[in-house]
Amino acid sequence: MTYDDDGNHYGFTLSDELIMIRDQVRRFMRDEVKPIEDKLPHDATHCDPADEARLRGIAEEMGLGRLNVPAEYGGQENDCMIRCIVNEEASKCRLGGYRPALGAIRRGPPNIIWRGTPEQVHKYGIPCVEGDMTGYIAITEPTGGSDPRNNIQTRAVKKGDKWILNGRKMWITYAGVSDWGVIFARSREAEDGRPPEITAFIVEPSFPGISFEPIPVIRPLYPYEITLDNCEVPEENLLGEVGAGFGVAEQWLVAGRMPYAAGCIGMAQEALDMACGWVKQRSSQRGLLADKQAIQWMIADSETELRAARMLVYEAASASDRGENAKILASACKLFGTETAFRVVDRAIQMFGGMGVAREMPLERWLRELRIKRIGEGPSEVHRMVIARDKLKNTDGGVYFG
Ligand SMILES: Cc1cc2nc3c(=O)[nH]c(=O)nc-3n(C[C@H](O)[C@H](O)[C@H](O)COP(=O)(O)OP(=O)(O)OC[C@H]3O[C@@H](n4cnc5c(N)ncnc54)[C@H](O)[C@@H]3O)c2cc1C
């Protein structure tokens, strides 16, 4: 067993560098982001652009501004462990992972742009790091997001030096407020038992035939529906090879699952820590809440589950950083991290009683956010299916049935 400098013990040793980064992010959130947040309305998703620019400047000075950028493009390499550590800490603030907080540190576009041509990287990727440009990824459609390989109905047809896109995308985060996005479309139908061919395209809001409509949901940051009506995309905006789209998407999705889970764990850890502070000073039936067994069990279960979820994230992230195929571990992280975090925040609300659902507290906002996290990036059922299929395929029955 090893210990970090807060006295937490881990079966997993965080390097000195990771501990330093975690502490830097923690200080940044406490000293710079929280004072700004404290002045914002409860459901704010952004702050004053001047404040955001100042946060970005501070993050850059601290050396935290380019964690999401590959070294060949002047960044600090896109190391999954670092992204997880950063996400966990950054998500502990009320804005929980939104642009002013997390965006200041992990500046950068959706990571699949780094797989583009040098021209695409310089046109779309670098301005997200050095300027204010933002991007989105649009895979999901009204026909269903759980099985995109078969459910993507948006069609892409080549006409001269352009591709013509027709279809609709649903639930796309940041789509209506971004400078560009990546759309996944069918460039060839399924045939001879083979799935349809999916290709990725970079689109801009100024392209003819593209429009956006916000979809109100339970969290303040609304996703968008995108309509593509004979949308014209120039040939040079093809991202990757024709037909390679699903490989591009899957790589992006798998790489995002560990930091996604880590962010959820951060929110839940903060909720649990807040609840511990509360029950140590709140009384009922002539005794502190902290002394009641019912409360202690909620605390014990929550702390245990969060540690297990964090270990899973570290295991998956380090496997990914070693270049191993982390697909199954990433599904396990996403499943267990999001489900655990939701349960823990729900218990924290219970311990707070009425105060738990008060809008002056971040807890109810985190609960709404975590409700989405159990659906976005693949619902829990789909990750269970992926893990179970792999287990059944690779396990022979153990000692008795093998
Ligand atoms: C707020 C928000 C933001 C989002 N942002 C983006 C984004 O930026 N880009 C993007 O591309 N997508 C985005 N999504 C879409 C998200 O990835 C999909 O909602 C998700 O993949 C599920 O797809 P669906 O909603 O179509 O549900 P369906 O695919 O219709 O599934 C409905 C339910 O059926 C169950 N289910 C599905 N398949 C199975 C199965 N095989 N076995 C058992 N049960 C199953 C699950 O419980 C699932 O929740 C976002 C969604 C939300 C809510």
For the domain that residue 283 is a member of, what is the CATH number? Answer: 1.20.140.10
**Which range in 7-11, 253-257, 357-361 is most confidently predicted, on average pLDDT?**
357-361
* 224 Cβ closer than 6 Å to some ligand 1 atom: no
| Domain shared by 264 and 139, yes or no | no
| Domain shared by 172 and 291, yes or no | no
Whose CA is closest to 47, among 34, 58, 30, 60? 34
pLDDT > 90: percent of the chain = 62
Q: How far is the CA of 377 from the centre of ligand 1 (A)?
A: 7
Q: How far is the CA of 203 from the centre of ligand 1 (A)?
A: 23
Residue 18 is inside which H or E element, if any? Answer: helix 16-28
Catalytic residues: 377
Give the number of C-alpha atoms closer than 13 A to the C-alpha of residue 204, restricted to the C-beta side: 11
Ligand 1 atom closest to the Cα of residue 138 is 11
| Domain shared by 229 and 269, yes or no | no
Q: Which structural domain, as residue segments, surrounds residue 206?
A: 135-239
pLDDT at 3 over 60: no
| Domain shared by 264 and 396, yes or no | yes
| Domain shared by 207 and 342, yes or no | no
pTM of the model: 0.93
Residue 270 in tokens: 């903060």
Return d(Cα 17, Cα 22) in angstroms, integer. 9
**Taking a C-beta distance cutoff of 8 angstroms, is the pair 105, 28 a contact?**
yes
What tens digit of pLDDT does each residue of 161-192 get? 999 999 999 999 999 999 999 999 999 988 88
| Domain shared by 272 and 383, yes or no | yes
pLDDT in the model for residue 300:
98
Number of domains in the chain: 3
* 247 Cβ closer than 6 Å to some ligand 1 atom: no
pLDDT average, residue stretch 64-83: 79
User: What is the SS3 assignment for 146?
Assistant: coil
- Residue 317 belongs to a domain: yes
**Taking a C-beta distance cutoff of 8 angstroms, is the pair 239, 195 a contact?**
no
- Residue 35 belongs to a domain: yes
Q: How far is the CA of 391 from the centre of ligand 1 (A)?
A: 23
Return d(Cα 346, Cα 366) in angstroms, integer. 9
- Residue 158 belongs to a domain: yes
* 140 Cβ closer than 6 Å to some ligand 1 atom: yes
For the domain that residue 7 is a member of, what is the CATH number? Answer: 1.10.540.10
- Residue 122 belongs to a domain: no
* 214 Cβ closer than 6 Å to some ligand 1 atom: no
Return d(Cα 113, Cα 119) in angstroms, integer. 11
For the domain that residue 215 is a member of, what is the CATH number? Answer: 2.40.110.10
Residue 19 in tokens: 């501990």
Return d(Cα 308, Cα 333) in angstroms, integer. 10
Answer with the residue of higher pLDDT: 36 or 313.
313
Where do the DSSP E strands lie in 144-205?
155-159, 162-172, 180-188, 197-203
**Number of other CB atoms surrounding residue 82 within 10 Å:** 24
Whose CA is closest to 334, among 362, 298, 370? 370
| Domain shared by 183 and 64, yes or no | no
pLDDT average, residue stretch 357-361: 92
Q: What share of the chain is helix, strand, coil (3-state, %, to 5)?
A: 55, 15, 30
Q: How far is the CA of 261 from the centre of ligand 1 (A)?
A: 16
Domain C-terminal end among 239, 257, 274: 239
| Domain shared by 53 and 169, yes or no | no
| Domain shared by 286 and 392, yes or no | yes
- What DSSP string describes 35-73? HHHTTS-TT-S---HHHHHHHHHHHHHTT-TTTTS-GGG
* 146 Cβ closer than 6 Å to some ligand 1 atom: yes
**Cβ-proximal residues to 199 (8 Å cutoff; 6+ apart), any chain:** 156, 184, 185, 186, 187, 238, 240, 241, 242, 243, 244, 245
**Cβ-proximal residues to 383 (8 Å cutoff; 6+ apart), any chain:** 331, 332, 334, 335
**Strands 162-172, 210-214: pairing kind:** unpaired
Domain C-terminal end among 239, 257, 289: 239
Ligand 1 atom closest to the Cα of residue 378 is 21
Domain C-terminal end among 92, 108, 124: 108
- Residue 114 belongs to a domain: no
- Residue 127 belongs to a domain: no
**Taking a C-beta distance cutoff of 8 angstroms, is the pair 45, 98 a contact?**
yes
* 173 Cβ closer than 6 Å to some ligand 1 atom: yes
**Taking a C-beta distance cutoff of 8 angstroms, is the pair 380, 339 a contact?**
yes
pLDDT average, residue stretch 90-109: 69
Ligand 1 atom closest to the Cα of residue 174 is 8
**Residue 1 confidence class, pLDDT cut points 50, 70, 90:** very low
Pocket test for ligand 1, best of 45, 375, 383 (most atoms within 8 A of CB): 375
| Domain shared by 57 and 172, yes or no | no
**Strands 238-239, 197-203: pairing kind:** antiparallel
Q: How far is the CA of 136 from the centre of ligand 1 (A)?
A: 17
pLDDT at 251 over 90: no
* 220 Cβ closer than 6 Å to some ligand 1 atom: no
* 260 Cβ closer than 6 Å to some ligand 1 atom: no
- Residue 129 belongs to a domain: no
Whose CA is closest to 377, among 340, 342, 343, 330? 330
| Domain shared by 252 and 349, yes or no | yes
Return d(Cα 206, Cα 19) in angstroms, integer. 44
| Domain shared by 345 and 372, yes or no | yes
pLDDT in the model for residue 6:
64
Ligand 1: which residue has its CA nearest to atom 19?
Answer: 376
Pocket test for ligand 1, best of 98, 134, 137, 140 (most atoms within 8 A of CB): 140
Work out whether the CA dihedral 343, 262, 387, 148 comes out positive or negative.
positive
- Residue 216 belongs to a domain: yes
